Chains A and B, each alone.
Chain A
Amino acid sequence: EAGVTQFPSHSVIEKGQTVTLRCDPISGHDNLYWYRRVMGKEIKFLLHFVKESKQDESGMPNNRFLAERTGGTYSTLKVQPAELEDSGVYFCASSQDRGYNGYTFGSGTRLTVV
């Protein structure tokens, strides 16, 4: 089966600009998650979709971040306007169940805000 696909793999933008990250989960996986790793820190949870509904968005840092999953297929994460502290690697993951048997992660999008 195809894995979780994320793009772009790298993005360099200026402070104040907008960036949209995309994630295509494994086909048939209702659960989709976004995580982020900033330099020197652990990978941290951002939010969880079940189909098109946001199940848990407690990890979203602020209202500059907007995640959508229209139609319950792919998801986008928009950062607007981007700040320097938003730099890091953004991972998407998907699972059939609630992830108790492990998620499948994508390779991540490395975002650099300059």
Chain B
Amino acid sequence: EDQVTQSPEALRLQEGESSSLNCSYTVSGLRGLFWYRQDPGKGPEFLFTLYSAGEEKEKERLKATLTKKESFLHITAPKPEDSATYLCAGSPRGKIIFGKGTRLHILP
């Protein structure tokens, strides 16, 4: 069965304290691995798509990486405005399969 598992469930960091979020996946015929950001009361906001092992993508303080079994979202020197739930998702075809997310809280 296709599955996406994220850890930790929640993470509190001080402003400027770098860390990584983990996403492990078992998705048959993976077409893409996605990262989304979700703020309270809003829908998920697209961040990255990774297509193959070894690929990396960056956006401001975020960098996503992909291996054959895992993806990591690295957050460098985070700011309070980076606080959100980060969702990992895998796409076998068409539809995407989400993990439960990691709730990230950055303390000023």
B partners with A: yes
The chain A residues found within 8 Å of chain B, CB to CB, are 4, 31, 33, 35, 41-45, 48, 55-56, 58-59, 91, 93, 98-108
Q: A99 near B94 (CB under 8 angstroms)?
A: yes
A102 to B99, CA, bound (A): 16
Known: A31-B94, A98-B94, A99-B91. 5 other contacts (CB 8 A): A33-B95, A41-B100, A45-B96, A102-B48, A105-B36
Q: B42 near A107 (CB under 8 angstroms)?
A: yes
Partner of B43, one of A55, A93, A101: A93
Dominant SS at the B interface?
strand
Which of A44, A93, A104, A105 gathers most chain B CB within 10 Å?
A105
Contacting residues, chain B, for A105 (C-beta < 8 A): 36, 43-45
Q: B31 near A100 (CB under 8 angstroms)?
A: yes
Chain A residue at minimum C-beta to C-beta distance from B31 = A100
Partner of A48, one of B4, B32, B94: B94
Contacting residues, chain A, for B44 (C-beta < 8 A): 43, 91, 105
The chain B residues found within 8 Å of chain A, CB to CB, are 4, 31-32, 34, 36, 41-49, 51, 87, 91, 93-101
Give the A-B pair count, Cβ closer than 8 A: 58
B6 nearest CB across to chain A (Å): 9
A76 nearest CB across to chain B (Å): 18
Which of B47, B94, B98 gathers most chain A CB within 10 Å?
B94
With A33-B95, A100-B31 given, is the CB distance from A43 to B87 under 8 Å?
Answer: yes
A33 to B96, CA, bound (A): 10
A2 nearest CB across to chain B (Å): 14
Q: B100 near A42 (CB under 8 angstroms)?
A: yes
Q: A107 near B43 (CB under 8 angstroms)?
A: yes
A58 to B92, CA, bound (A): 14
Contacting residues, chain B, for A45 (C-beta < 8 A): 95-97
Q: A104 near B46 (CB under 8 angstroms)?
A: yes
Q: B98 near A100 (CB under 8 angstroms)?
A: no
Contacting residues, chain B, for A41 (C-beta < 8 A): 100
Contacting residues, chain A, for B99 (C-beta < 8 A): 42
